[in-house]
Structure 1
Amino acid sequence: MTKSPRFMQIKTYLLDKIESKTWPVGRRIPTEAELCEQFSVSRMTVNKAVRDLVNEGLLERTPRLGTFVCQRKAESPLMDIRNIADEIKERGQLHHSEVLSLKAIKAPEDVAMRLGIMLGGDVYKSEIIHFADNTPLQLEVRWVNPNYAPDYLAQDFTDKTPNQYLVDNCPLSAIEHTVEAIMPNEMIAQRLDIPLEQPCLLLHRRTWSGDQLISAALLYHPANRYKLSARTSL
């Protein structure tokens, strides 16, 4: 049987240590020099094994300090809408949510533009934090047109996410996504339990049912815990 390349053997060794939690999140792994000596290989071979795991989100290099085991980033498809509760559960984690606010408001200018309604029109607004294993993963700020989801304020969003409620009651026909990297303000940082210097990914989302614009949302994620992906066929 042909042996796997040396860098793959080193990568497998490192991966086994991580997945078995012999090396927990936050643990510094051996230096490249130490791994070179352990496996009797060149620095280039070790570097490729470590670099692969960094690219896969399992290790994180910190200048002058070393390479550390990190929490694998959550991932969502950019070209689709997935229920965040389902995504978290599929990764073997526990989901729960904290409803910060759920109320009717008069649409200010920015919200009226997002939803395509008259300034000062009635809008339902919700603010919810979604957790993965008790760690905040997403701050969801959502505005909903009450004409198409009249029972929105009566829902228990600790039991069912707004996404699931809207998909069940307003079948999705189109989505619009825009993504940007931002630095959080004090409120966002506090709700996501991150320092002010920790970047965030902000996903702007609008959804339609038929030809009706139903919902607009701002979805904030800690950049070190979350990533978005897209795949298309040519």
Structure 2
Amino acid sequence: MVNDKDRGDPTSSYPRYREIKRFILDGVKSGQLKAGDRVPSEAELTVQFAVSRMTANRALRELTATGLLVRRAGSGTFIAHSKPIGHLIEIRNIADEIRTRGHSYRSRVVLNETVAADRSSAARLNVRVGTRLFHSLIAHHEAEFPLQLEDRFVLAAAAPGYAKVDFTVTTPNEYLTRVAPLEKVEHCVVARMPDEDIRGILGMQRGEPVLVMTRRTWSGGRLVSHAILTHPANRYELTATFEVAPD
């Protein structure tokens, strides 16, 4: 286990939940924490870092979403065993990502509505035509520049309050992580040329390509969200950092 004396600095401007994440990541990198080791519980972290239970929960929740941790009901939270590299694209909240760079974040909600699944949206979530879904279309801005267009369908039964959320205050990522904790994530990334509507929302010129990430997420044993995240290729990059254990 990592020593209790390695506490976060209460005077630091670094977000406290990120201090906890860094603390656990450093433990893994140094070898103090290995696959199968138990990490401090939420209660232990609240004391060790002098933070709220919500802050400790967020740190563990986000590390679980990346695949680094696995949470076992009644037992605790543990370092996960190695997973394929393709699972290592971090599920990052776009607002946090932008603010970490020292820039302001804002969103523009183009739509957030309740719909009955048609053939296309039903196929996205593997449900029957007519199933109640939520559909949101949100442009995320870094300073004044549109950085991401998020086109998302959500299974209404899994996140019943989705259509009432003010997504200028929070993000779909933040809300869904709270009400439908991630169990499984699937990513696919491609480069393509955007259509006129997407160019207009993202403020792009004709001939400029985009990076498109399709993300499907599962919770409670079912597929709950299908998102198409479109980024101007000249303003965004996708990265993943990982370590390979020796044979």
| Shorter-chain TM-score range | 0.5 to 0.7
CA–CA distance in structure 1, aligned partners of residues 242 and 184 of structure 2: 17
Structure 1: runs of 5 or more not aligned: 1-76
CA–CA distance in structure 2, aligned partners of residues 229 and 198 of structure 1: 21
Q: Does 1:153 align with 2:150?
A: no
Q: CA deviation at 1:156?
A: 0.3
Q: Which residue of 2 aligns with 1:125?
A: 135
Q: Which residue of 2 aligns with 1:181?
A: 191
| CA contact 1:200–1:220 (8 Å) conserved in 2 | yes
Matching of residues 84-103 of structure 1 within 5 Å: 84-103=94-113
| CA contact 1:78–1:177 (8 Å) conserved in 2 | no
Structure (1 or 2) with the greater strand fraction: 1
Matching of residues 131-146 of structure 1 within 5 Å: 131-146=141-156
| CA contact 1:78–1:228 (8 Å) conserved in 2 | no
Change (3 A) 1:140 1:133: same
Structure 2: runs of 5 or more not aligned: 1-86
Q: CA deviation at 1:108?
A: 2.0
Structure with higher RCO (Cα < 8 A, 6+ apart): 1
Change (3 A) 1:78 1:97: farther
The one-letter code sitting in structure 1 at the alignment partner of 2:92 is R
Please give the per-residue CA displacement for 1:39-66, whole angstroms capped at 9, x wherever unaligned.
xxxxxxxxxxxxxxxxxxxxxxxxxxxx
- Percent identity of paired positions between Structure 1 and Structure 2: 44
The one-letter code sitting in structure 2 at the alignment partner of 1:138 is Q
CA–CA distance in structure 2, aligned partners of residues 212 and 203 of structure 1: 21
The one-letter code sitting in structure 2 at the alignment partner of 1:171 is P
CA–CA distance in structure 2, aligned partners of residues 184 and 90 of structure 1: 28
The one-letter code sitting in structure 2 at the alignment partner of 1:113 is A
TM-score by length of 1: 0.65
Q: Which residue of 2 aligns with 1:49?
A: none
Q: Which residue of 1 aligns with 2:37?
A: none
Pairs aligned (count): 158
Q: CA deviation at 1:78?
A: 5.8
Q: CA deviation at 1:91?
A: 0.1
The one-letter code sitting in structure 2 at the alignment partner of 1:182 is R
Which of 194, 199, 210 matches 1:200? Answer: 210
TM-score by length of 2: 0.62
CA–CA distance in structure 2, aligned partners of residues 78 and 195 of structure 1: 32
Which of 123, 126, 136 matches 1:116? Answer: 126
CA–CA distance in structure 2, aligned partners of residues 78 and 129 of structure 1: 25
Q: CA deviation at 1:185?
A: 0.2
CA–CA distance in structure 2, aligned partners of residues 163 and 101 of structure 1: 16
Q: Which residue of 1 aligns with 2:175?
A: 165
Q: Which residue of 1 aligns with 2:115?
A: 105
Q: Does 1:209 align with 2:219?
A: yes
